[in-house]
Amino acid sequence: MNPRYDKFLNSGNPPEPPKPFAWKWASDIKTCKDSHDFVEGILTDSGLSVIYGQSNCCKTFIALDLAASVAMGSRFLGTIEADRGGVLYVAAEGAVGVNNRIAAMRKMGRLGKKDEADEADDADEADEADEADDADDADDADDADDQTPYIALMSTGLDILDPQDSDRLAQTIKAVASACPFPVRLVILDTLSRMMPGGNENDPGDMTAVVKAADKIREGTGVHVCFIHHSGKNQAAGSRGHSSLRAATDTEIEVVREEGSEFGQVICKKAKDLSFFPTLTFQLEVVKLGTNRRKKPVTSCIVKRADAACMPTKSTSLDTAKGEICLALSKAANGMNTTEIWENVKGGKTAKKQALDAMEADRTIVKRKVNKAFVYTLAPVAKPEQEPPTEGSKT
């Protein structure tokens, strides 16, 4: 017996037949000419997306620029148009860093007018602050109202797998919407792992529950939900965790940047109902925010559009890493372990790892295990074989 019907059988009242799902004839379907993409070719109304990448690849910088483009109705990375709307950014990871990144965006005019207060804090930039004041005086009052960046920042941790927390998030979105003259279009959850404490990203049940929670928020508020996520150990395999998340997303974006490089790229990995957008190249620009109590400079960064030609080619960075490793090993009589190579050899960690693998494969270096650590040395140079003496030669 089905326990759902036991109460009806015990009461003597038969259950009412279930209501049919909504349906329509194929002949009644009309062509949809508008994809409702509020960030052109990237994000759609009430959609689900994931921005992922390795640690320190600038995922949050890219997500904040995306948020700014929506909040200001400006171009994402100076390239792709966005319709204006409110944004809720949930910074469950690195909230202090996000605050400074937003401050850097304000100072550089990415969120409307340049922040005069921040500029005036730095005596070295007094002249620049005066120029900003003159420019501000020329603006109309209506223009000033239009320059308000409607990005709401929430740094409270939450568990999206907890129905109570997901309901509170939906209520927060509605509260932000009530205080915003534009519809709230985008909610960014940074990061997925912090949104599911105690959950297992590799478990299909937990990841499916994350998708269901995001669906409930989207259906109840009409916002687009974007998760910031990490790559797996095998970067080529995509984002970390069970594939049910990727299957449910409308847009998947990978952010790649060689460690130590000022340039990176934003790459479309999935576009459900849209065409794949072209790869975007970005550059990190350091922004000075002032000094701390120890009189040390406080800095952050913003991202801006860059030319694809600025990106170092993989072969160039790989060859450079090989050369640096060879140079370092030639000076190390007893070889170097992995940690020593990471810390003392120039270049990004990814390039150095690829270089070690390639050099081991072509037998340029030798890897051996010493006290539970791998130690690398240059392979001994093979001596050329001596030709046998010819007939009649002296021996």
Per-residue pLDDT tens over the stretch 146-196: 688 999 999 988 999 999 999 999 999 999 999 999 999 999 999 999 999
Average pLDDT score, the chain: 85
Measured distance CA(247)–CA(308) in Å, rounded: 30
Residue 191 near residue 93 (C-beta atoms within 8 A): yes
Q: What is the DSSP letter of 334?
A: T
Q: Fold for domain 314-378?
A: Arc Repressor Mutant, subunit A (1.10.10)
Give per-residue pLDDT as tens, 244-289. Answer: 999 999 999 999 998 888 999 999 999 998 999 999 999 999 999 9
Q: Which two tokens stand for residue 395?
A: 């021996």
Closest of 266, 225, 244 to residue 49, by C-alpha: 225
Q: Which burial class, exposed, middle or buried, applies to 270 when counting CB atoms under 10 A from its CB (0-12, 13-18, 19+)?
A: middle
Fold of 37-112+147-310: Rossmann fold (3.40.50)
Please, where in the chain does CATH 3.40.50.300 lie? 37-112+147-310
pLDDT band for position 345 (cuts 50, 70, 90): confident
Cα(395)–Cα(360) distance, rounded to whole angstroms?
40
Residue whose entry in the numeric block shows the structure tokens 């190579």: 341
pLDDT tens-digit profile of 54-101? 999 999 999 999 999 999 999 999 999 999 999 999 998 877 889 999
What are the tens digits of pLDDT across the range 195-247? 999 999 999 999 999 999 999 999 999 999 999 999 987 777 889 999 999 99
Give the separation between CA 156 and CA 257, rounded to whole angstroms: 29
Rounded-to-5 percentages of helix, strand, coil across the chain: 40, 25, 40
CA distances from 51 to 46, 60, 326 (A): 16, 9, 36
Which parts of the chain fold into alpha helices (H)?
3-11, 59-72, 95-107, 116-121, 126-137, 141-146, 163-178, 192-195, 204-221, 244-248, 314-330, 338-344, 349-361
Stretch 290-309: mean pLDDT: 93
Q: Which pLDDT belongs to residue 284?
A: 94
380 pLDDT tier (thresholds 50, 70, 90): confident
Reference 265, options 42, 15, 57; nearest CA is 57
Measured between alpha carbons, how far is 350 from 230 in angstroms, rounded to an integer?
Answer: 15
Q: Could you give the 3-state DSSP secondary structure of residue 285?
A: strand
CATH 1.10.10.10-classified regions of the chain: 314-378
pLDDT at 354: 85
Q: Is residue 340 exposed (0-12), middle (13-18) or buried (19+ Cβ within 10 Å)?
A: middle
Q: For residue 246, which of 216, 217, 269, 279 has the smallest C-alpha distance?
A: 269
